[in-house]
Amino acid sequence: MRRKSHASRRDLLRIAQIYVSLNANENEAKGPDTGMDEIYTDFFGLKERPFSLLPDPEFLYWSPEHKHAATMLEYGLFSRAPITLITGEVGAGKTTLLRHLMATITENVTIALVSNARGSREDLIRWIMLALGERVAAGEDYVLIYDRFQQFLISEYAAGRRVVVVIDEAQNLDAGVLEELRMITNINADKDELVQLILMGQPELRDLIAQPQLRQFAQRVGAGFHLGPIGADCAQPYVTHRLEVAGAKHAIFTPEAAQKVHAYTGGIPRLMNQLCDLGMVYAYSARSDQVTGEIIDKVIEDNVFYLPVEVQGKPRVVAPASGFRSGRAAAAAAVQGGA
């Protein structure tokens, strides 16, 4: 049974304080627990927040898009493709998918994860060596570093392990650095290649690789997939899955609420998480045990959620404020009432 409460200026301030505190806790590196998460989760009977923005493979929902992307990642890895390319929109779930793959690899594989690499080819080989746990002295000559890298690959191969270098946010690399990566894939022992590359990045990465000067690089891509938004038919299952992983014992989001979350966010998982999280904060503030379509509309109306460009300007129906008032309306009422 849904319980209603009119939002006052104090209520809206509490909503803001709760949400800021929750996200501050999320960004702490496992620091002391302030108890804010418990206030949020205890109300809904959860063991943890279901819509955290941190990439957590345990919460991964296997939409058809994510299943296809995972299949191509595994195919590229186990077929020993020189380069595997996975692109997707910001917040589509690429990093979560990558962490799932890294957590489930069981055979002898040494993985070097390079995140947000920038700079020249000299910088790149240093990033890779550091990711492999190899020390790089300040000012060490590039040729010597590259030779040590080759020796590392040979030693891993002799020990029965193969090396996979994962470059996340690879759209930040320029054409010259990508060409250097292609040259790395040429390192081999007889018929066996000693290193594989997995490149993860935003859609601009595909545009970069399509340039004529990178045609040799493109020919080395043995597997690839573009990860798009999840479909509207996956909205309710997506929300329900994350809630169940967090310990939900009953339906917290109504089907209408889940569909509105999808419509407002364009089906981008990270944006869906943000809007769902805000919806739960609003429901908690109103002491409502369900997040309804009306509550999601109210979050949007209060301008506390940033709408993506692709859905801005689309007409939307905002439900009557029976249980909530917008931030502007509440502020005006507070001023008039001297609150």
Pair (211, 83) in one structural domain = yes
The residue that leads in pLDDT, 38 or 228, is 228
Q: Which residues contact 223 (CB under 8 A, 6 or more apart)?
A: 72, 73, 75, 76, 79, 81, 84, 85
- Choice among 26-40, 47-61, 97-111, 297-311 with the minimum mean pLDDT: 26-40
Pair (287, 217) in one structural domain = no
Pair (183, 111) in one structural domain = yes
Cα separation values, 277 from 22, 101, 242, 304, Å:
10, 26, 11, 12
Q: Would 4 be classed as within a structural domain?
A: no
Q: Please compute the mean of the pLDDT values over residues 20-31 and round it to a whole number.
A: 46
The residue among 227, 242, 268 that closes a domain is: 227
Confidence label for 38 from pLDDT (cuts 50, 70 and 90): low
Pair (75, 216) in one structural domain = yes
Pair (212, 329) in one structural domain = no
Q: Please compute the mean of the pLDDT values over residues 158-168 and round it to a whole number.
A: 91
- Choice among 75-84, 118-127, 234-243, 270-279 with the minimum mean pLDDT: 118-127
Confidence label for 55 from pLDDT (cuts 50, 70 and 90): confident
Pair (180, 266) in one structural domain = no
How many angstroms separate the CA atoms of 136 and 123, rounded? 11
Pair (299, 171) in one structural domain = no
Pair (180, 124) in one structural domain = yes
pLDDT over 70, % of the chain: 79
Pair (112, 128) in one structural domain = yes
pLDDT over 90, % of the chain: 55
Say which CATH number the domain at 195 has.
3.40.50.300
| pLDDT for 95 | 87
The residue that leads in pLDDT, 318 or 278, is 278
Q: Please compute the mean of the pLDDT values over residues 118-142 and round it to a whole number.
A: 88
pLDDT tens digits, 1-23: 444 444 444 454 454 444 444 45
The tokens for 337 are 């009432």
Q: Would 246 be classed as within a structural domain?
A: yes
| pLDDT for 37 | 53
Contacts by 190-194, CB closer than 8 A, 24 or more apart = 192/157, 193/80, 193/82, 194/153, 194/154, 194/156, 194/157, 194/162, 194/163
How many angstroms separate the CA atoms of 2 and 25, rounded? 29
Q: What are phi and psi of 288, to 5 degrees?
A: -100, 130
Q: Which residues contact 267 (CB under 8 A, 6 or more apart)?
A: 229, 230, 231, 232, 234, 235
Pair (164, 300) in one structural domain = no
C-alpha 294: how far from chain center: 27
Average per-residue pLDDT in the chain?
A: 81
**Nearest CA among 86, 93, 110 for reference residue 59:** 93
Alpha helix stretches (DSSP H) within the chain: 9-27, 36-44, 64-78, 94-104, 121-131, 142-158, 175-184, 204-209, 215-219, 235-245, 255-265, 269-285, 293-301, 327-337
Q: Is the pLDDT of residue 156 over 90?
A: yes
Q: Which domain holds residue 138?
A: 64-227
